[in-house]
Amino acid sequence: MNSGVALISGGARGIGRGIALDLAARHWAVAFCYRTSAKEAEETAQGIRSLGGDALAVRCDVSDPLAVRQFVKQVEDTWGKIDALIHCAGPYHRVNLFDETPDGWNAMLAQNLTSLFYLAQVVAPGMKARKYGRIVAFSMANADKMEAQPQVTAHYIAKAGILILTRTLAKMLAPDGITVNAISPGFINSGSAPAEELAGMVKKVPAGYIGEVQDVVAAVRFLLSDEARYLTGSNLHLSGGWGI
């Protein structure tokens, strides 16, 4: 019997995959979506099943509201509910603001921020009906400082927006037993950045080392637990002191 049902956006690789496998080991059913990582998605689904969890891998662009509705419906039709929404989708690109294109700008906002709005809007009714739910979103460790970011401007604005949306959702959904929290990682060895680049960043981290996926997994595990039932609207810095 499943302990719970989780929907993870961007769950085929990296942090999303780590969360999915941890949930599977605790007998959760895990639905996750991906846009392009079909091979990795199949490997993750197999990993979930090998750990005792049920898996559903769906190709879905979460910046498309119709696709989001279809994905959520598929999960609810399969398992009858969604206990936790974990929004890991968060692509970025580096480009000088004045060289950014309209398509690039819109994609950063749509895939990082607007996608959370679409997912939360569709998942919330079922959670409200059951008077229970957990929503976890990902920002970045210095987004609350609102610093100038000439090379990742749209991505950074989206991550700052995640914090505002998190607090808004938390306030609106608290009466229904639903918590909404953000995790703001710093440098995490998730496979998305070259090892030499991460090594060069160590000197910027007060703790003196780069975080691992397991550090993020532990934070998510806590936010999904009953121990975190009274914690909502929070922004959990997970950065070893970087960005604060």
- Residues identified as active-site: 156
DSSP letter for 110, please: I
- State the Cα–Cα distance between residues 111 and 109, nearest whole angstrom: 6
- State the Cα–Cα distance between residues 145 and 141, nearest whole angstrom: 9
Amino acid identity at 82: I
User: What does the angle CA 76 – CA 77 – CA 82 come to, to the nearest 5 degrees?
Assistant: 15
Neighbouring CB atoms inside 10 A of 224's CB total 24
Residue 12: partners with Cβ closer than 8 Å, 6 or more residues away: 32, 34, 37, 40, 41, 44, 57
Neighbouring CB atoms inside 10 A of 36's CB total 11
Residue 187: partners with Cβ closer than 8 Å, 6 or more residues away: 193, 198, 201, 204, 205, 210, 211, 239, 240, 242
